[in-house]
Amino acid sequence: MMVHAPEALARLEAGNRRFVAEQTVVASLSTTARRDALVSGQEPFAIILGCSDSRVPAELVFDQGFGDLFVIRVAGNVVAPSQVGSVEFAASRFGTRLVVVMGHSQCGAVVATLEELQGRATTESKNLRSIVDRVRPAVEPLLSLGRVHGEDALIREAVRANVRASVHQLRHGSELLETLIHESGLWIVGAEYSLETGVVDFFENVPVSRAGA
């Protein structure tokens, strides 16, 4: 049965509250019986595009088990064609109606990009560069405008700008996703996970009206 976007978002928020309160139920969602029931198919209720950072495991911070989340993790939660394709695959194949781009505080990929833009480091590997190059357009304006003062504030703003950029790319970089947004109630929202508190803040593109949630 399809889980609509508002309900999916409410589930993630509830799971994150359990995680923060140390009242997780994930063990009951990850049993052998649950695994067996999923052999014949899956219906994940949310797609998460998150960072590979070892401190931000999506299933744990949302207190979800087998079959619940379709997770794409890449350093800096950047959007490249294979990420768009993964989202398209899950949204069209499984009817998943919520996509969350989840950045996090102190993201190393964002910090590395800032350091390079500030001339404090260079990225030698062309593979690593392909990630930095995708983060750069989102954070470069923060430096050139000079409106953000202090290194911590700069990193915070850069993490959010990078999430917004990925949300924007997913929303506008795929005809298939655009059609699902307009015709089938697909939501693509942005969030930030705090390493300090464990809280996920859904700060970008969450519709004001959340009927059903």
Q: Which residues bind Zn ion (CB under 5 A)?
A: 51, 53, 107
Minimum gap (Å) between residue 104 Cβ and Zn ion: 6
User: Nearest to residue 29, comparing CAs of 69, 66, 71?
Assistant: 66
Q: Which residues pair with 98 in a beta bridge?
A: 187
| Residue 126, both tokens | 């062309």
Residues in the chain: 213
96 vs 113 by CB, closer to Zn ion: 113
55 vs 147 by CB, closer to Zn ion: 55
52 vs 184 by CB, closer to Zn ion: 52
3 state DSSP class of 48 = strand
53 vs 68 by CB, closer to Zn ion: 53
Name the region of 77 (left: φ>0; alpha: ψ -120 to 50; beta: rest). Answer: left
Minimum gap (Å) between residue 131 Cβ and Zn ion: 10
Residue 141: is it exposed, middle or buried by C-beta count within 10 angstroms (0-12/13-18/19+)? exposed
Minimum gap (Å) between residue 39 Cβ and Zn ion: 33
123 vs 184 by CB, closer to Zn ion: 123
Minimum gap (Å) between residue 78 Cβ and Zn ion: 10
111 vs 188 by CB, closer to Zn ion: 111
Minimum gap (Å) between residue 109 Cβ and Zn ion: 5
Alpha-helical regions (H) of the chain:
5-20, 32-37, 58-61, 81-93, 108-117, 126-145, 151-172, 175-184
CA dihedral 192, 195, 196, 197 (to 10 degrees): 60
Minimum gap (Å) between residue 85 Cβ and Zn ion: 21
